[in-house]
Structure 1
Amino acid sequence: MERALYEIVDHTADVGLRVHGRHLSEVFEKAALGFYDLMVGLDSVEMRQSREVRVEAQALDELLVQWLSELLYLFEIEGFLGKAVQVAVHPSWRLTATVHGEPLDSTRHRVALVYKAVTYHTAAVHFSDGQWSAQVIFDV
């Protein structure tokens, strides 16, 4: 994945990412792609299967954490890795998404980063100067 799609946020003993986009759905898509890219590298993942994801929250920063936590859950339970995502953010902070990818294959995927959790520490989603931005920290 091109580094221009996300920025790495340095944090003591953890790692985070920051993304920007013209649309809120684009920011959530980029956050997911950055999540997978940091974990295994998107180049090694193929689009063989899809998963539907739905999450709700009381606020945008909470929706971001819930979204990425659901992706972490899919990885932990099914070993599922994403390569491409389509996200729709609905009023009242509800997100629906389709994640395309495949299950972890230890012969082709090298897990470079193991996430313990997606944290609320400095999690933020905001709109400024005509652009959406989001930041999140992962406990590793």
Structure 2
Amino acid sequence: MLDGFLRLSQPASTDGMVGLLLEVHAGLRRKHPADSASYIIALMGEGLTITTLHAGDCRLGRLTNQGSIRWLTPVHTLANAIQDLDERALRLSPDRHLLTRSFQAKRFQPPDCVIHEFDERDRGLLIASDGFWADL
């Protein structure tokens, strides 16, 4: 993925990243037919804009001035596919370990693509991978 990103002749875009994901998928599907992975890609835009592409249980969060994390991307798990859960219930659900969308060798699933606007007063951003968000 990184090699493809470095080869881009134009600024990174959502379509360009999905194209790279398709290339990577084509190369991995025969080598790793039973594997899957969660991922998040964050593209810095103009000003305080970030576009995320994600699948699985990786998340982008905003660090608030109060010291808390406000998660901006949903996870793709059975827990929140069955019903809409608040963050605490989602964190405690045993079904949060069962992914409903991921980067799978068997078939390509396009990522969720979301544009996020940030406030310059925010303390920062946090990317948490593979379910580690639940421990923060």
Structure with more strand by fraction: 1
Question: TM over 0.5, yes or no?
Answer: no
Instruction: Give the TM-score normalised by structure 1.
Output: 0.28
Instruction: Give the TM-score normalised by structure 2.
Output: 0.29
